[in-house]
């Protein structure tokens, strides 16, 4: 069964969709197929990992989504920042659904929501934070959540955590979103070449925050060769190990060592930050 068909079957059982996006790449981590199959459902966007994203651009993205009529809540599922606001917004939506069911003389029941998004955007961490306990397995590798798990969130609201691995299907490897999905960890490391991804990160940071690279690596950075030499990523004969340097850059980015970086903006052409 395809990922979209799996989502379609799950949506038959729920009233509300909470799509988790990575605040560093909201456009790239937004799955248009979800919006298609979830048409008619109440929708909330959770803009996660705001601690790693540029706070100004996070505000811009929030405004962008709200102008389109979406409910958008910036948050950090790991620390809980913003999660109470998400719960309040979800409860308001759930209350409206419950009143609608009551008006149609339907049996009173818990309002069911599904938490979906690309792998490793923090879906299970968000479900755990809302539930207040470790009900769903979490980890920092894409697709660690296995099977469908219901979590009672209280106040008549139940959440369904879905395996992230099914949402990555069908992403165009040659598309503009692909390098950013690789950079933020949505794609398993063994599935992509780190060199073009790291080079794209360096290009963006070199244009927007050149001082950050020099501060981190202790020298002027014009490419992966410079980082390989600065960090001792050398092979036989002192030849720069570009692949190793690329993996180092990607790891530094993911861990926030290159600053709070947002990779794209609503006003940019394609998927590059503006």
CA proximity to 262, closest of 2, 3, 28, 20: 28
Based on the domain organization, do 45 and 152 belong to the same domain? yes
Name the pTM for this structure: 0.86
Based on the domain organization, do 208 and 152 belong to the same domain? no
Q: Are 21 and 121 in contact (CB under 8 A)?
A: yes
What does the DSSP 8-state code read for residue 81? B
Q: Tell me the residue ranges of DSSP E strands in the chain.
A: 16-22, 42-48, 71-74, 111-116, 149-154, 157-161
Please give the pLDDT value at position 190.
93
Mean pLDDT per 10-residue section of the chain, whose length is 274 residues: 62 83 95 78 93 97 94 96 92 81 74 84 87 55 56 75 53 81 94 96 90 91 94 94 97 96 80 46
Give domain status of residue 178, yes or no.
no
Please give the pLDDT value at position 108.
67
Based on the domain organization, do 202 and 74 belong to the same domain? no
**Strand 157-161 relative to strand 149-154: parallel, antiparallel, unpaired?**
antiparallel
Give domain status of residue 134, yes or no.
yes
Please give the pLDDT value at position 244.
97
The last residue of one of the domains, among 168, 183, 201, is 168
Give domain status of residue 151, yes or no.
yes
Based on the domain organization, do 205 and 153 belong to the same domain? no
Q: Are 170 and 123 in contact (CB under 8 A)?
A: no
DSSP letters spanning 99-114: HHHHHTTPPP--EEEE
Q: Give the neighbor-by-neighbor strand order of the sheet with 71-74.
A: 71-74, 42-48, 16-22, 111-116, 157-161, 149-154
Based on the domain organization, do 144 and 203 belong to the same domain? no
Q: Are 169 and 102 in contact (CB under 8 A)?
A: no
Give domain status of residue 259, yes or no.
no
Domain, as residue range, for 112? 3-168
Based on the domain organization, do 154 and 207 belong to the same domain? no
List b or e across 166-188, with b for residues whose CB sees 16 or more CB atoms inside 10 angstroms.
bbbeeeeeeeebbbbbbbbbbbe
CA proximity to 245, closest of 223, 264, 228, 221: 228
Tens-digit pLDDT profile for residues 138-166? 455 555 445 566 777 766 788 876 554 34
Give domain status of residue 204, yes or no.
yes
- Compute the distance between CA of residue 133 and CA of residue 77 in angstroms, rounded to an integer: 13
229 burial class (0-12, 13-18, 19+ CB within 10 angstroms)? Answer: middle
**Strand 111-116 relative to strand 42-48: parallel, antiparallel, unpaired?**
unpaired
Give domain status of residue 250, yes or no.
yes
Give domain status of residue 40, yes or no.
yes
The CATH number linked to 20 is 3.40.50.300
30 burial class (0-12, 13-18, 19+ CB within 10 angstroms)? Answer: middle
Give domain status of residue 55, yes or no.
yes
């Amino acid at each position: 069964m395809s990922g979209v068909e799996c989502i379609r079957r799950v949506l038959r059982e729920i009233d509300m969709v909470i799509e988790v996006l990575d605040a560093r790449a909201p456009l790239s981590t937004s799955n248009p197929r979800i919006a298609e199959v979830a048409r008619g459902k109440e929708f909330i966007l959770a803009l996660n990992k705001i601690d790693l994203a540029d706070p100004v651009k996070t505000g811009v993205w929030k405004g962008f989504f709200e102008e389109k009529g979406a409910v958008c809540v910036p948050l950090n599922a790991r620390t809980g920042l913003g999660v109470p606001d998400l719960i309040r917004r979800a409860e308001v939506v759930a209350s409206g659904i419950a009143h609608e069911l009551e008006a149609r003389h339907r049996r009173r029941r818990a309002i069911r929501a599904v938490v979906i998004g690309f792998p490793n955007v923090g879906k299970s961490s968000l479900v755990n934070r809302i539930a207040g306990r470790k009900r769903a397995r979490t980890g920092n590798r894409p697709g660690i959540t296995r099977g469908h798990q219901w979590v009672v969130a209280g106040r008549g609201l139940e959440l369904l955590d879905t395996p992230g691995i099914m949402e990555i299907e069908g992403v165009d490897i040659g598309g503009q979103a692909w390098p950013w999905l690789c950079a933020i960890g949505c794609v398993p490391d063994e599935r992509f070449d780190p060199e073009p991804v790291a080079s794209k990160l360096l290009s963006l940071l070199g244009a927007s925050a050149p001082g950050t690279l020099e501060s981190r690596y202790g020298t002027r950075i014009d490419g992966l060769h410079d980082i390989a030499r600065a960090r001792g990523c050398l092979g036989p004969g002192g030849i720069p190990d570009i692949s190793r340097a690329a993996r180092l850059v990607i790891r530094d980015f993911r861990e926030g060592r290159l600053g709070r970086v947002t990779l794209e903006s609503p006003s940019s052409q394609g998927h590059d930050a503006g």
